[in-house]
Amino acid sequence: MHLTRDEEKGLSGEYGEATSTAYRILVAIGEATDAEKLYHQMGTCFRS
The chain-wide mean pLDDT, for the chain, equals: 88
Q: Which amino acid is at 44?
A: T
Is this structure's pTM higher than 0.85? no
Domain count of the fold of the chain: 1
Instruction: Single out the residue of 33, 36, 28 nearest to residue 2, CA to CA.
Output: 36
Looking at the DSSP bridge assignments, the partners of residue 46 are: 39
DSSP, residue by residue, the chain: -B--HHHHHHHHTTT-HHHHHHHHHHHHHHHHTT-SBEEEETTEEEE-
pLDDT at 48: 55
Domain ranges, residue 29: 5-47
Tell me the mean pLDDT in the region 11-36. 95
**Mean pLDDT across 4-18:** 96
